[in-house]
Chains A and B, each alone.
Chain A
Amino acid sequence: MALTRNVYQILEDIVGPENISEEPVILDSYAFLWLAETVTDSKFFTRPEAVVMPGSTEEVQAIVRACNRYGVKYKALSTGWGPWNAPGDEGVVQVDLRKMNRILEIDEKNMYAVVEPYVIFSQLQVEAMKRGLTCHIIGAGANTSPLASCTSMSGMGLSGISMSYNARNPLAVEWILPTGDILRLGSLGCGAGWFCGDGPGLSLRGIMRGTHGAMGGLGIFTKCAVKLYPWPGPRQMHFEGVSPGHVAAIPQNFRCYVLSFPSWDSFADAAYKIGEAEIGYVMGKQIAAGIVPLMAARSPTEYAQIRESGMADEIMQEFRYALQLILGAHSLREIEYQERALQEILAETGGWIPSPTQDPERQKTTFRMMIKVDGNSAIFRLSGSFGTSFGAETSCDAAMVHARLGEEIKKKYIEKGVIADDGAEWAWGAEMNEHGRFAHIEELFMYDPADPESAKGAAEFIEETSLLTAKQAPGLAIWELARGGLGPKAHDIYGPACSNYHVWQRRIKKAFDPNFSADATFYIEPEE
């Protein structure tokens, strides 16, 4: 269903001929997405009818208005990493926000930055660090958009312990509503600048994104003030070395640890205590036991040799319940205090620091990966792709339920040979947002997207764990599952288990988007 020439012309008039395309070669680069093969049996979702690339708020608004007027759906994306960017069906115009890529302001005193959609975390972080500040970075990696995760989707990452997750970090926002009207959220709405996301009057932040974000289903966000946090490290970090290894010295007022525990219970106890003591700067469970042998290998081939020889069994066991932790302090006395507090917590919970992780060179790498969040796409390295499951925002204790369930169910799929044998453990998360107020655990798994059997196995794993989440593990499973695992009925399955949120979500969709113009696929279908 191509766009009518009239509509295409109208869109072209808005953005200029060089910023619109319906060339199949260009469209396919938007239809190709991670996890697509678990939903469509190929690497591609439905092609958008056209891609438009606006350069300003006015252009975005004009696009949205035109779409409303001519009954065309639209779907925005920032950097476009993940299936939730795909049009749900035919007839959708993809709005690629790449040209809106500026950091408009960094307010050092009030600790926020105003960004456009295509600014990535790495850019924001280096500019903020020059001013003694930094930003929370999501676990996906610093190659993604702070605006996207603040306004539209998820937002968890290991700095959540001291910087919360990105549902909390947007301040004022410029929002093109699904109808094309502009809403300036928070202080911006009364001309008072960007410092606050709430009021005047009722706060709309919850409606804007709630827990997981509208994923493009509620209009387009064009600017967002993102909260910044103190960075007690150097204004510029100098990374030595040549790719693939870049390392920087760990500043004197920082420490970098891997902490191991004998069980999930002691792991959770320690996580709570670290949160309560307010000593964590960055923390979470990032490294899976099955991944640890990769640190000693130069290639997947070597990794496999180490694993198959059994040499890694012991170390994998040692890392089964392991947390990574960075302490950061504003003075040497403070860091000494934090260290002592940590030692006490380890003594109380039976935790220890595995000796291989005390190697200063390894610590530098871990430090880089946790501060710069630059290594996470290594997760694709061993099998070509990965999938995830569970992941409700919940208490750390409840997250442990997810971890245990994840291990159980994974064993079955490993036995079938459709996913990689990672020792049946890759719980990711436990970042203890806001010093422990809530956390989450995802069970990651590795599969091969180039292998149809493996992709099918991945799809089944996602579906089974999604259903299990609704039945046995309270909390709304992680975002991509809403569509990938269960299809459009996902919310109707989860809703009754989670305060009937789906009823409200539908109402919001209908009220804000009367023409159903913003592609609802990953948000909520307006009709049951």
Chain B
Amino acid sequence: MALLDYRNDMQRCSRCSLCKWPPLAQIKSWRFSNVCPSMVWGNFHAYSAGGKLIAALSLLDGRIDYSDKFLEIVYQCQMGGACDVSCKVTRDLEPLEVMLELRAKCVEDGQLLPAHMVMIESLRNDDNPMGKLKAERGKWAEGLDVKDITREKADVLYFAGCRYSFDQDLWGIARGAVTLLKKAGVDVGISGKEEACCGGRAYEMGYRGELTKYAEHNIETWNTAGVRTVVTSCSDCYGTFKYHYPKVGKTMNFEVLHITEYLDRLIKEGKLKPTRKVPLQVTYHDPCHLGRLSEAYIPWEGVERKVLGQIVIQDPPKEFRRGTNGIYEPPRDVLKSIPGLELVEMERIKEYAWCCGAGGGVKEAYPDFALWTAKERIEEAEATGAEALVTACPWCERNFRDALEQDGEKMKLYNIVELLLEAL
């Protein structure tokens, strides 16, 4: 689909502003009642999802042209999709798709952000958007006793993703994940320096070609390697595999799991037994790409028709992704399986969780906005009284770490993997 295909969605936006709030019944206090970081940061209506739909319509209709402000409105947004969930509580519109198409159009029309261009150049040269050398990709696993699937067969491929591969502060988590899998007797391998980006971040920034390239490459590599399962600790990669990869139309002969799903399964099968007490009160941050954005791709090709006068239907019927089927319980179940650990919930959770701030190319292009968004979440975590904030995504973790460091905050930060390791 192209931007123009969503013109009716733009015209049918009612400007209700529901995309600025969590589903209304889930608002629990004045303080934590916003759901759209872009809107709170930018304040003018144009920054909301509805506002971006209007901007897209205006652009298509030639009422406005590109400007620096236009690009700021388009790109100062994490593409975390909370807006999409709130809109779809009552509507059958696709605000997030419009926003993705709008970015793709910007890129097509050469309306690029310098910070994103740097990422894309790095991606084209070194298969990662982080400005790191490809040759260094496998370093995170040095000394780890794990198969290399480029040389030997394994049932399960552990996909580290760019952030875990190159962010040395986080290497321990990727290593810990592999350790846990091995402890549970999983036949696991990695691709080391041959691993390539998932392409998801580029797609969200509007660079469509990059996603197709990596999706085709990765699917082909994993099919050829004969792996039965691809497991990743990165929520962004996971969301990309579940939602964007099926779009390229290549058969995927493997199952995709997030590490928290896999660990949950292993615990429930009795293959991992958390027995050591971890006396800690924690709160869990749902990463956007593991939660609402991890819903599987639902192919739909059809047309819009009118019946009963002016009732608009999709023919054949279209299933909308409304955030209903994200991965919400497995990470919580893993946490609940840890003796002594108590999980307390924040106000904005699951499909209406507040974003960590790192996504959509925001951390690179608008670092202040990214950190502000993280701090807002940290405040919400602190308000629960929990001692620690737990997450399951390296991008969230990086951004929370940076925010905590900047403010000298005391709140502890963990990945689920670290807590489970402690409990074994």
Whether the pair B43, A244 counts as a contact (CB closer than 8 A) is no
Whether the pair A454, B310 counts as a contact (CB closer than 8 A) is yes
Give the bracket for the number of chain B residues in contact with chain A: 35 or more
Whether the pair B15, A374 counts as a contact (CB closer than 8 A) is no
List of A residues within 8 angstroms of B156 by Cβ = none
The answer to whether residues A417 and B309 also contact, given A25-B67, A243-B85 and a CB cut-off of 8 A, is: yes
In the complex, A2 has a CB within 8 A of chain B: no
- The 8 Å CB contact of B46, one of A26, A34, A374, is A26
List of B residues within 8 angstroms of A32 by Cβ = 13, 15, 54, 57-58
Q: Which B-chain residue is minimally distant from A43 (CB atoms)?
A: B11
B1-45, CB < 8 A from A: 7-8, 10-18, 21, 23-30, 33, 43-45
Q: How far is the CA of A383 from the CA of B27 in the complex (A)?
A: 28
The answer to whether residues A21 and B44 also contact, given A122-B27, A236-B28, A377-B91 and a CB cut-off of 8 A, is: yes
Whether the pair B12, A300 counts as a contact (CB closer than 8 A) is no
Q: How far is the CA of A377 from the CA of B93 in the complex (A)?
A: 12
List of B residues within 8 angstroms of A25 by Cβ = 46, 55, 58, 64, 67, 69-70, 73
Q: How far is the CA of A182 from the CA of B7 in the complex (A)?
A: 45
- The 8 Å CB contact of A28, one of B64, B316, B318, is B64
Question: What is the CB-to-nearest-CB distance from A308 to chain B, in angstroms, rounded to a whole number?
Answer: 7
Stretch among A67-75, A397-405, A445-453 lining the B interface: A445-453
In the complex, B308 has a CB within 8 A of chain A: yes
In the complex, A142 has a CB within 8 A of chain B: yes
Considering residues B10, B43, B44, which has the most beta carbons from chain A within 10 angstroms of its beta carbon? B44
Q: How many A-B residue pairs have CB under 8 A?
A: 225
Whether the pair A372, B24 counts as a contact (CB closer than 8 A) is yes
In the complex, A380 has a CB within 8 A of chain B: yes
Whether the pair B308, A243 counts as a contact (CB closer than 8 A) is no
Q: How far is the CA of A298 from the CA of B322 in the complex (A)?
A: 12
Whether the pair B311, A450 counts as a contact (CB closer than 8 A) is no
Whether the pair A29, B44 counts as a contact (CB closer than 8 A) is yes
The answer to whether residues A239 and B26 also contact, given A51-B44, A143-B16, A385-B14 and a CB cut-off of 8 A, is: yes
List of A residues within 8 angstroms of B50 by Cβ = 29
Q: How far is the CA of A447 from the CA of B11 in the complex (A)?
A: 12
Q: Count the A residues whose beta carbon is within 8 Å of the partner chain — how many?
A: 79
Whether the pair B51, A383 counts as a contact (CB closer than 8 A) is no
Whether the pair A244, B88 counts as a contact (CB closer than 8 A) is yes
Contact with B along A288-313 (1 / 0, CB 8 A): 00000000001111111001100000
Contact with A along B80-94 (1 / 0, CB 8 A): 000001101111100
Whether the pair A382, B312 counts as a contact (CB closer than 8 A) is yes
Question: What is the CB-to-nearest-CB distance from A465 to chain B, in angstroms, rounded to a whole number?
Answer: 17
The answer to whether residues A374 and B8 also contact, given A21-B44, A24-B63 and a CB cut-off of 8 A, is: no
Whether the pair A375, B312 counts as a contact (CB closer than 8 A) is no
The answer to whether residues A242 and B308 also contact, given A98-B43, A120-B21, A122-B33 and a CB cut-off of 8 A, is: no
Whether the pair A80, B15 counts as a contact (CB closer than 8 A) is yes
Question: What is the CB-to-nearest-CB distance from A381 to chain B, in angstroms, rounded to a whole number?
Answer: 6
B194-250, CB < 8 A from A: none
List of A residues within 8 angstroms of B318 by Cβ = 299, 301
In the complex, B317 has a CB within 8 A of chain A: yes
A207-254, CB < 8 A from B: 236-237, 239, 242-244, 246, 248
A19-72, CB < 8 A from B: 19, 21, 23-26, 28-30, 32-34, 37, 42-44, 51, 53
Whether the pair B17, A79 counts as a contact (CB closer than 8 A) is yes
List of A residues within 8 angstroms of B33 by Cβ = 120, 122-123, 126
Q: How far is the CA of A381 from the CA of B13 in the complex (A)?
A: 10
Q: How far is the CA of A18 from the CA of B25 in the complex (A)?
A: 32
Question: What is the CB-to-nearest-CB distance from A223 to chain B, in angstroms, rounded to a whole number?
Answer: 16
Whether the pair B328, A242 counts as a contact (CB closer than 8 A) is yes
Q: How far is the CA of A378 from the CA of B86 in the complex (A)?
A: 12
Question: What is the CB-to-nearest-CB distance from B337 to chain A, in angstroms, rounded to a whole number?
Answer: 22
Whether the pair A380, B12 counts as a contact (CB closer than 8 A) is yes
Stretch among A273-281, A418-426, A487-495 lining the B interface: A418-426
Q: How far is the CA of A248 from the CA of B318 in the complex (A)?
A: 28
In the complex, B251 has a CB within 8 A of chain A: no
Q: How far is the CA of A19 from the CA of B43 in the complex (A)?
A: 8
In the complex, B175 has a CB within 8 A of chain A: no
Q: How far is the CA of A30 from the CA of B54 in the complex (A)?
A: 9
Contact with A along B285-323 (1 / 0, CB 8 A): 000000000000000000000111111111111101011
Considering residues B11, B24, B318, which has the most beta carbons from chain A within 10 angstroms of its beta carbon? B24
Question: What is the CB-to-nearest-CB distance from B153 to chain A, in angstroms, rounded to a whole number?
Answer: 39
List of A residues within 8 angstroms of B67 by Cβ = 23-25
- The 8 Å CB contact of B92, one of A236, A242, A381, A419, is A381
- The 8 Å CB contact of A368, one of B25, B90, B312, B323, is B25
Whether the pair A21, B308 counts as a contact (CB closer than 8 A) is no
The answer to whether residues A299 and B88 also contact, given A28-B54, A34-B14, A103-B30 and a CB cut-off of 8 A, is: no
- The 8 Å CB contact of A243, one of B43, B63, B309, B352, is B352
The answer to whether residues A302 and B317 also contact, given A23-B67, A99-B43, A383-B312 and a CB cut-off of 8 A, is: yes
Q: How far is the CA of A197 from the CA of B14 in the complex (A)?
A: 34
Q: How far is the CA of A418 from the CA of B43 in the complex (A)?
A: 37
In the complex, B103 has a CB within 8 A of chain A: no
Whether the pair A119, B30 counts as a contact (CB closer than 8 A) is yes
Whether the pair B311, A414 counts as a contact (CB closer than 8 A) is no
In the complex, A384 has a CB within 8 A of chain B: yes
Whether the pair A383, B310 counts as a contact (CB closer than 8 A) is yes
The answer to whether residues A242 and B350 also contact, given A81-B17, A123-B27 and a CB cut-off of 8 A, is: yes
A69-105, CB < 8 A from B: 79-81, 96, 98-99, 103
In the complex, A339 has a CB within 8 A of chain B: no
List of B residues within 8 angstroms of A299 by Cβ = 92, 313-314, 317-318, 320
List of B residues within 8 angstroms of A122 by Cβ = 21, 24, 27, 33
Whether the pair B30, A28 counts as a contact (CB closer than 8 A) is no
Whether the pair B44, A53 counts as a contact (CB closer than 8 A) is yes
List of A residues within 8 angstroms of B350 by Cβ = 242
In the complex, B324 has a CB within 8 A of chain A: yes
Q: Which A-chain residue is minimally distant from B347 (CB atoms)?
A: A126
- The 8 Å CB contact of B310, one of A34, A376, A380, A418, is A418
Q: Which B-chain residue is minimally distant from A24 (CB atoms)?
A: B64
- The 8 Å CB contact of B315, one of A33, A301, A380, A385, is A301
- The 8 Å CB contact of B351, one of A243, A420, A454, is A243
Question: What is the CB-to-nearest-CB distance from B57 to chain A, in angstroms, rounded to a whole number?
Answer: 7
- The 8 Å CB contact of A377, one of B90, B310, B352, is B90
Contact with B along A176-197 (1 / 0, CB 8 A): 0000000000000000000000
Whether the pair A383, B311 counts as a contact (CB closer than 8 A) is yes
Question: What is the CB-to-nearest-CB distance from B349 to chain A, in angstroms, rounded to a whole number?
Answer: 10
Contact with A along B320-333 (1 / 0, CB 8 A): 10111010100000
Pairs of residues from A and B, 5 with the lowest C-beta to C-beta distance, nearest first = A374-B24, A384-B12, A301-B317, A450-B11, A378-B90
25 contacts between A and B (CB under 8 A): A24-B63, A25-B64, A28-B64, A29-B54, A32-B57, A37-B11, A43-B54, A44-B63, A81-B16, A126-B33, A143-B17, A242-B326, A248-B25, A300-B311, A301-B313, A302-B317, A304-B307, A372-B25, A377-B90, A380-B12, A385-B12, A418-B309, A421-B309, A449-B12, A451-B310
Q: A28-B46, A244-B88 are in contact. List 14 more A-B contacts (CB 8 A).
A: A25-B58, A28-B55, A28-B64, A81-B15, A81-B17, A96-B45, A143-B16, A143-B21, A302-B317, A372-B24, A376-B90, A377-B14, A384-B8, A417-B310
